[in-house]
Amino acid sequence: MNRLLGQLGAYIRQRREDAGIPRGAVIRHTRFSLTKMFKIEAGTLRPSVDDVRLIAEAIGMDPAATAHVLGLAHQLQTASDRARQKPALAQPDPDALRDLGMLATLLREHSGTVGITICEAARRTRFSRTKTSAILNGRRRPSVDDVRLLAKAIGMDPAASDHVLSLARQLQTASGLTRQAPAPPPLAERDPDAQRDLDELAALLRGHHKAAGISRAEAARRAGFSSWRMSAILNGKQQASVDDVFCLARVLGMDRATTGRALTLARQLKAAQSRRTSEERKGRRPPQRDIDKLAALLRAHHRTAGISIAEAARRAGFSHFKASVILRGKQRPSVDDVRLLAEAIGMNPAATTQAIEGAQRLQARNAASAEKSPASIDQTRCAQPTAATAPTAATAFRPNSDRSRPCDDVSDRTLRSGPRLLSRY
């Protein structure tokens, strides 16, 4: 589509220049803006069929040239309509619906037999109550991992667990989701230390919330949270930031020692999350050295061709920015991008084959890293603060950002005055 767009814009500009008609005359005839006309000729804006017809009349194209540009415009419109077309909704499979109902019935009956409520099952599996209720009532198709956790939570025997897991696998196969990338393992498997810190922080906040004698809705209102977020933090289902813990400590009237411990746990959780994110991105990022080699090869032939980046982008049907970042090694190009760019700058067949093979290796490595499970996380704990690095009384209770909240209007003098004044907030 980009290539057709570039061809259409270049053809219109060439015919206008051959006819000796300035761009302003075409604009006056078609009543286009200068920006729109410039983008059409540059190949960065897809004109409609009527727009192309008006431009052909303004330039005075002969019937053959008019038919050519109208054909290109029709092809562009067909490609755009095909890209916007929504896929037809799949009809429900009767066998899959039957398996889903049987799976939900088995789980519901077993949980009722052992006397486990939906709330207790949700707490054990760390699911939300809505998700657990939808699975047990057959309104949601659970994954195999969800069924395995739920069967363990309600204490199913091995034979019953194997039966419900086989039903879950049948549902997964029927829904066509077997080729999806595997879901990341739970936090307890990726980083057990972070999970322990999260549980300890949630238990600490829950204990002081009960001692404060206020409802969760009132505590959420004072801290500027939603009720759902407050519940998720107290139940250990959502990681609280340092600012969140700081506000909750003041709302719940926590003493200095407990607040310092809660803030330390929040900082350890933040550091662990940053470390996991860095490791996962490092596993997905293609090697920059291979991208630099491919970019250097393209740059060398681009200099030999003696054309500008704008001209190379116009020939390849790219934008100027895209061609620039590919030639500078700031973006991983696809195989089609490399092929079009090689044709635009006139690379010889041997160099073209070498560049395409390099792009194919990058694409294969990127696809392989996307299918991998997240990289193993370093289990090293955050270093405990020493006497030299431990926060002082004036900085231990200070949030990390200036984000405004209902509880952020306490002055530093009040923060240094001790737990007696903190309990008032």
pLDDT digits (tens, 9 = 90+) for 289-332: 788 888 889 998 988 888 888 888 888 888 888 888 898 888 88
173 Cβ contact list (under 8 Å, min separation 6): none
Q: Which positions of the chain have pLDDT values less than 70? A: 1, 84-92, 175-190, 280-287, 368-425
List, as one string, the DSSP characters of 318-364: --HHHHHHHHTTSS---HHHHHHHHHHHT--HHHHHHHHHHHHHHHH
Report the candidate in 48, 75, 60, 59 with the shortest Cα–Cα distance to residue 24.
Answer: 59
Provide the b/e sequence for 145-157 (b: ≥16 CB within 10 Å): ebbbbbbebbebe
User: Tell me, what's the pLDDT at 264?
Assistant: 92
User: Tell me, what's the pLDDT at 286?
Assistant: 53
User: Tell me, what's the pLDDT at 318?
Assistant: 84
Helix (H) or strand (E) holding 84: helix 63-84
- CA dist 134 and 409 (Å) reads 42
Amino acid at 1: M
